[in-house]
Chains A and B, each alone.
Chain A
């Protein structure tokens, strides 16, 4: 077997040194009834690289990749161009095949990029401190709610109706153990009233901007209302590129920012792995979940980096930890930080403007189709349209034509008849005018 370096001769010599007659002797602590033969597994035997490559390539070919044709899906995961340097660098052995940097003397590479990543995330979100990542945006949002519950010693969380339904369900599942999770009503493409729901039992208000329908929200009045009642504002961002064009959540008064970082450096990957961004104010640091990298010096006085404040974490604090998280999104943070380093201020702000310009052009084009109505009044690179018929069958019909037209709202909110005709459409720098024309043409054909 190509991945196993021991020969049978080696194995015999090793057993002899151990003083064991055979391999079974090493498994003697396993109860007799629990030993199984290979024939117990209805699974294939080993295969060469060529055969495995062939089998998996065949499976991959049954899917329609985003890059295979006109593509407009978003709703929490976005198709962007990732520069070639990113994937090359993250595949360097020293990054790819290293462990969590628990031995800082021989892990400065990982620790330094995490320190740079934390700085970038703090800058983008307009917050004072950021951690070294969580699993993804949805789990980061759930962690943020639990952090607010700890900080305020209150249980109730109010989720905006514009929060991605998968995020809301994730929050409900995990943070729902600690208190009530309330949800504000939703009007697609319009800001709902969430302020009137805030009371003195409220731990936090969770508002996504741009929201799941693409709507840009003004967080300032919500932050003020929350703070007046002693509650925290958690701002959620699912499209990190929007931070290049929009006012940062920190500047608008957010106390915690939970975001999905997939858009920067990371592929779509059918939903994961992604990278959860998590930032807050310095005064809340001790309640922040996840790993943190800090600057220090070594015994020779040279600057270096270590994992720090680990007294918050499970491997030290066990049942008193702020979170149970251990593994995070190491390599995805590396992809994120490399891509953002390549972009820099100029590249990132241009990228954000380009995304908005593309989406604006597409929105105008689609809104001009008879029967199609643009629902989202202020948006970044994603908006919602209302079709004259249910959106899901139209998306299926367009997929048959090779056009992935977007995400029908019914996929996310399946029991709301009022949502049936709504379609969420994203456009990014990867879309061309030809893509727009193809979508327009295909839509006209099926409507």
Chain B
């Protein structure tokens, strides 16, 4: 018998793998099904040993809990096994290439985790006196310096807790700046290729949203945008590099036109990882841009957060940054938390959240920056762009790239025209990648392309890893085009679950576990 080292499978002619027999347990080898904690736990068991103290209710204002909560009891070994089993149902960057365009799933260095857990950071109270927090404030100051240097912007607001929160912060600063000029400008221009958070944030901040079309080359239509500018426009929100993975080459002229119309330029910085160390947004005429520390600076995505979204600001918007403000004087660093006692020339628009932002993410991001240095940050951007172009160049003859041969930035965009007439959809194609051991790419986004597939490899993949990925996607595309669609219909077949019924989930929402009610008597 011969074993193919790449496939770990017996390939001798005439060899047939054993047929799959249902197991008695329902589990399959290392694949374990796992019940809910509420179905495992029972009374009289706990995973934390604590003294059984009785308290007098007299100090509780008569508000003592009367009913039990209903939490299940589990011992520590049961809890550990539960979550370890759950973890094994997840795909992760650490286990494979995660080409989610726009999401930037790059390697998360473990040094950063260790640094965030130093007691001086992880066990530090946000309202401890300034004398007890000088190191933390100095860290924030260093991170602010990195962010302003890399972006070429004079100021940064640190408190926003994620990208969308940063967008809100930027728009509120713009709103305050416009009010300070004694004007009202209700309209915000957003390209149709924008992330959903952009129009949502604009509406959230009380503006009306006006969409700007894209040109056939995937860039925003600058002429259409200029035509929409007027005295009622507060700002434009543009992503650059944009969500098609392309650099907006006319950005400087756009910024000039926006400023000439008295409006501000908000840039969605979700794709800053393509240009960090090579291009400074400040040189492009941008007034505000959030930076997703969980994308560009690799703080872990954690299954959907926590993120961090500091916002760099131009000189025009800097005075309006929200409290708290970090200042340094002869006594060291301190936070200005009182909007009535701010430094001269500042007019904070308010407060984004309690305390001072995502410190745990700040530590990780600074650890990433210090490790990479300015040269490593630049190299990371270049490698991300190189890897995306390598994928584009290696797949464009079998898949379809809607915006031609030009170089892309950090992500390669394909549409579904290569699947036309095959009966295979973008969704089928993406789900079949799961069976091949890959997380799907971003699908059906951006909206400006039919059946979009947005691939972002990041700088964290070796050439060998990229080649293996390219090989699989090529074979899949060729099979689909040859009418061999078996692997697409009903994919994935090999994941912990096959396709889930999302319609049922939405129609009759079951959003929590409930103890089974007694069966109703038949009528």
B500 interface residue (CB < 8 Å to A): yes
Near B by CB (< 8 A), chain A positions 166-223 give: 166-167, 169-170, 172-174, 176-178, 209, 215-218
Q: Give Cα A354–Cα B119 distance, bound, in whole angstroms.
A: 24
Q: Give Cα A402–Cα B64 distance, bound, in whole angstroms.
A: 35
Near A by CB (< 8 A), chain B positions 353-376 give: 353-361, 363, 366-367, 369-376
User: Do A354 and B375 touch (CB < 8 A)?
Assistant: no
Kindly name the residue among B73, B168, B409, B490 whose own CB sees the greatest number of chain A CB atoms within 10 A: B73
Can you give 10 contacting A-B residue pairs, CB < 8 Å? A3-B372, A90-B302, A96-B108, A166-B351, A245-B55, A246-B64, A271-B359, A318-B200, A325-B165, A360-B59
User: Do A45 and B373 touch (CB < 8 A)?
Assistant: yes
B520 interface residue (CB < 8 Å to A): no
Q: Give Cα A327–Cα B206 distance, bound, in whole angstroms.
A: 21
10 A-B pairs with least C-beta separation: A271-B355, A60-B120, A378-B61, A173-B350, A62-B135, A331-B302, A271-B126, A273-B306, A342-B47, A93-B94
Q: Give Cα A68–Cα B277 distance, bound, in whole angstroms.
A: 39
User: Do A345 and B70 touch (CB < 8 A)?
Assistant: yes
User: With A83-B47, A99-B304 given, is the CB distance from A268 to B124 under 8 Å?
Assistant: yes
Q: Give Cα A76–Cα B355 distance, bound, in whole angstroms.
A: 9
Near B by CB (< 8 A), chain A positions 370-399 give: 377-380, 395-396, 399
Per the CB 8 Å criterion, the residue count for chain A at the interface is 209
User: Do A17 and B393 touch (CB < 8 A)?
Assistant: yes
Q: How far is the CB of A17 from chain B (nearest CB, A)?
A: 5
Interface bits B450-475 vs A (CB < 8 Å: 1, else 0): 00000000011111010000000000
| Selected contact of A43 from candidates B48, B95, B294, B374, CB within 8 Å | B374
User: Do A43 and B119 touch (CB < 8 A)?
Assistant: no
Quick one: closest B residue to A316, CB to CB? B196
User: With A35-B279, A177-B206, A270-B124 given, is the CB distance from A105 to B499 under 8 Å?
Assistant: yes
User: Do B304 and A35 touch (CB < 8 A)?
Assistant: no
Q: How far is the CB of B442 from chain A (nearest CB, A)?
A: 9
Q: Give Cα A88–Cα B66 distance, bound, in whole angstroms.
A: 35
User: Do A3 and B203 touch (CB < 8 A)?
Assistant: no
Q: Give Cα A51–Cα B247 distance, bound, in whole angstroms.
A: 36
User: Do A272 and B306 touch (CB < 8 A)?
Assistant: yes
Contact residues in A for B65 (Cβ distance below 8 Å): 243-248, 349
User: With A36-B278, A53-B115 given, is the CB distance from A98 to B126 under 8 Å?
Assistant: no
Near B by CB (< 8 A), chain A positions 59-100 give: 59-68, 71, 73, 75-77, 79, 83, 85, 87-100
User: With A31-B249, A92-B87 given, is the CB distance from A59 to B196 under 8 Å?
Assistant: no
Quick one: closest A residue to B369, CB to CB? A43
| Selected contact of B371 from candidates A47, A91, A308, CB within 8 Å | A47
User: Do B359 and A414 touch (CB < 8 A)?
Assistant: no
B345 interface residue (CB < 8 Å to A): no
Q: Give Cα A203–Cα B120 distance, bound, in whole angstroms.
A: 42
User: Do B48 and A347 touch (CB < 8 A)?
Assistant: yes
Q: How far is the CB of A400 from chain B (nearest CB, A)?
A: 7
Contact count band on B: 35 or more
Quick one: closest B residue to A50, CB to CB? B111
Q: Give Cα A173–Cα B150 distance, bound, in whole angstroms.
A: 29
User: Do B89 and A107 touch (CB < 8 A)?
Assistant: yes
A368 interface residue (CB < 8 Å to B): no
Q: A33-B283, A63-B120, A132-B304 are in contact. List 15 more A-B contacts (CB 8 A).
A: A65-B124, A79-B125, A97-B92, A99-B304, A110-B304, A119-B38, A119-B513, A167-B354, A271-B354, A272-B353, A273-B308, A314-B197, A315-B197, A326-B163, A360-B55
B20 interface residue (CB < 8 Å to A): no
Quick one: closest A residue to B96, CB to CB? A106
User: Do A109 and B502 touch (CB < 8 A)?
Assistant: no
B172 interface residue (CB < 8 Å to A): yes
Contact residues in A for B47 (Cβ distance below 8 Å): 83, 85, 341-344, 347
| Selected contact of B64 from candidates A17, A245, A315, A346, CB within 8 Å | A245
Contact residues in B for A137 (Cβ distance below 8 Å): 354
Near B by CB (< 8 A), chain A positions 288-342 give: 291-300, 302, 304-306, 308-311, 313-321, 323-332, 334, 338, 340-342
Contact residues in B for A248 (Cβ distance below 8 Å): 65, 69
User: Do B51 and A354 touch (CB < 8 A)?
Assistant: yes
Q: Give Cα A268–Cα B354 distance, bound, in whole angstroms.
A: 13
Q: How far is the CB of A316 from chain B (nearest CB, A)?
A: 7
B24 interface residue (CB < 8 Å to A): no
User: With A112-B36, A377-B61 given, is the CB distance from A98 to B91 under 8 Å?
Assistant: yes
User: With A18-B390, A34-B280, A93-B94 given, is the CB distance from A64 to B44 under 8 Å?
Assistant: no
User: With A56-B139, A103-B434 given, is the CB distance from A46 to B150 under 8 Å?
Assistant: no
Contact residues in B for A44 (Cβ distance below 8 Å): 370, 373-374
Contact residues in B for A91 (Cβ distance below 8 Å): 113
Which one of B2-10, B97-105, B226-234, B259-267 contacts A?
A: B97-105
User: Do A268 and B123 touch (CB < 8 A)?
Assistant: yes
B404 interface residue (CB < 8 Å to A): no
User: With A94-B94, A107-B89, A269-B360 given, is the CB distance from A345 to B73 under 8 Å?
Assistant: yes
| Selected contact of B439 from candidates A60, A106, A267, CB within 8 Å | A106
Contact residues in A for B355 (Cβ distance below 8 Å): 76-77, 136, 138, 166, 270-272
Which one of B310-318, B378-386, B417-425, B478-486 contacts A?
A: B378-386
Q: Give Cα A311–Cα B44 distance, bound, in whole angstroms.
A: 42
Contact residues in A for B50 (Cβ distance below 8 Å): 347, 350-351, 354, 429
User: Do A268 and B122 touch (CB < 8 A)?
Assistant: yes
What secondary structure prevails in chain B residues at the interface with A? loop
Q: How far is the CB of A267 from chain B (nearest CB, A)?
A: 5
Contact residues in A for B94 (Cβ distance below 8 Å): 93-94, 96-97
Which one of A5-13, A224-232, A434-442 contacts B?
A: A5-13
Contact residues in A for B136 (Cβ distance below 8 Å): 59, 63, 270
User: Do B125 and A77 touch (CB < 8 A)?
Assistant: yes
B510 interface residue (CB < 8 Å to A): yes
A445 interface residue (CB < 8 Å to B): no
Contact residues in B for A315 (Cβ distance below 8 Å): 195-197, 445
User: Do A100 and B304 touch (CB < 8 A)?
Assistant: yes
User: Do A344 and B459 touch (CB < 8 A)?
Assistant: no
Kindly name the residue among A18, A60, A66, A106 whose own CB sees the greatest number of chain B CB atoms within 10 A: A106
A118 interface residue (CB < 8 Å to B): yes
| Selected contact of A77 from candidates B105, B114, B127, B305, CB within 8 Å | B127
Q: How far is the CB of A257 from chain B (nearest CB, A)?
A: 14
Contact residues in A for B180 (Cβ distance below 8 Å): none
Quick one: closest A residue to B513, CB to CB? A119
Quick one: closest B residue to A55, CB to CB? B370
Kindly name the residue among A66, A115, A273 whose own CB sees the greatest number of chain B CB atoms within 10 A: A273
B301 interface residue (CB < 8 Å to A): yes
User: Do A330 and B306 touch (CB < 8 A)?
Assistant: yes
A367 interface residue (CB < 8 Å to B): no
Q: Give Cα A422–Cα B338 distance, bound, in whole angstroms.
A: 18
Contact residues in A for B69 (Cβ distance below 8 Å): 123-124, 243-244, 248, 345, 348-349
Q: Give Cα A4–Cα B304 distance, bound, in whole angstroms.
A: 25
Contact residues in B for A89 (Cβ distance below 8 Å): 80, 83-84, 87
User: Do B386 and A23 touch (CB < 8 A)?
Assistant: yes
| Selected contact of B349 from candidates A164, A173, A331, CB within 8 Å | A173
User: With A26-B389, A98-B91, A218-B61 given, is the CB distance from A106 to B115 under 8 Å?
Assistant: no
Contact residues in B for A324 (Cβ distance below 8 Å): 164, 167-168, 197, 200-201, 203-204
User: Do B60 and A245 touch (CB < 8 A)?
Assistant: yes
Q: How far is the CB of B492 from chain A (nearest CB, A)?
A: 5
Q: Give Cα A271–Cα B308 distance, bound, in whole angstroms.
A: 12
| Selected contact of B353 from candidates A55, A63, A139, A360, CB within 8 Å | A139
B246 interface residue (CB < 8 Å to A): yes
Q: How far is the CB of A156 from chain B (nearest CB, A)?
A: 16
Contact residues in B for A349 (Cβ distance below 8 Å): 65, 69
Q: How far is the CB of B369 from chain A (nearest CB, A)?
A: 8
User: Do B196 and A294 touch (CB < 8 A)?
Assistant: no
Q: Give Cα A395–Cα B105 distance, bound, in whole angstroms.
A: 44
Quick one: closest A residue to B292, CB to CB? A327
Q: How far is the CB of B357 from chain A (nearest CB, A)?
A: 6
